[in-house]
Structure 1
Amino acid sequence: MASMPLERLKVLDEIEKDIAQVLSSASHALAEITKDKPSQKQVDQQNTQFLNNLSSVKTELTKRINYLIQVSTGQPHEGSSYAAQKSLLMAGQRLDHS
């Protein structure tokens, strides 16, 4: 279980690298467009790479955000005992007030 946070950090590191690639593709496409005689093939190639990388980043960030939403709302999720601990605490408090 201790490796799960490390795995999540590795995924975030990969997302960061993908974001850098998105920026690089956008930069290359813009550099090509600003040339006196831009190559349409190069522009299209960089644009396709940009869109593919951007889609990948969006998908992975959406997964991470959904995970954080799940964790923050107390819904059961993989590797967490928070919901069970909360239920136990509430049951103990109900017993104290009975």
Structure 2
Amino acid sequence: MLERQAAQFGAAVLKVEAELSAQIRYLTQVATGQPHEGSSYAARKGCQLALNRLEYARRRLGELQRGCQQLLEA
């Protein structure tokens, strides 16, 4: 009986250890910005970069338009 309880306790400790290790790995990924299951960081970052490129393209096209208008008016 004591051996069975000791074995059960040992199994419970191993299970807790495995769950804690999984949580530590997850938190390490989150804290370092690495992609992890369920993370939306990479998608948000990609979207923000795309919006930045779009804004740059709009500014550049506006500059080109003004330059063309000046040439046509001259």
The structure number with the bigger radius of gyration is: 2
Q: C-alpha separation between the residues in 1 aligned to 2:49 and 2:34?
A: 16
TM-score (norm 1): 0.43
Equivalent residue number for residue 40 of structure 2: 81
Aligned ranges 1:19-98 → 2 under 5 Å: 42-86=1-45, 92=52
Q: Give the % identical residues.
A: 48
Superposed CA deviations along residues 55-82 of structure 1, whole A, max 9, x for unmatched, are 0110111111101111111001122122
In the superposition, the TM-score normalised over structure 2's length comes to 0.55
**Larger helix fraction of residues:** 2
Please list every run of 5 or more consecutive structure 2 residues that lacks an aligned counterpart in the other structure. Answer: 57-74
How far residue 89 of structure 1 moved from its aligned partner, in angstroms, is: 5.2
SS class of match (1:71): helix
Q: Structure 1 unaligned runs (5+)?
A: 1-41
How many residue pairs are counted as aligned between the two chains? Answer: 52
Of structures 1 and 2, the one scoring higher in RCO (CA 8 A, sep 6+) is 1
Question: Runs ≥4 in structure 1, deviation > 2 angstroms?
Answer: 83-92
RMSD: 2.1
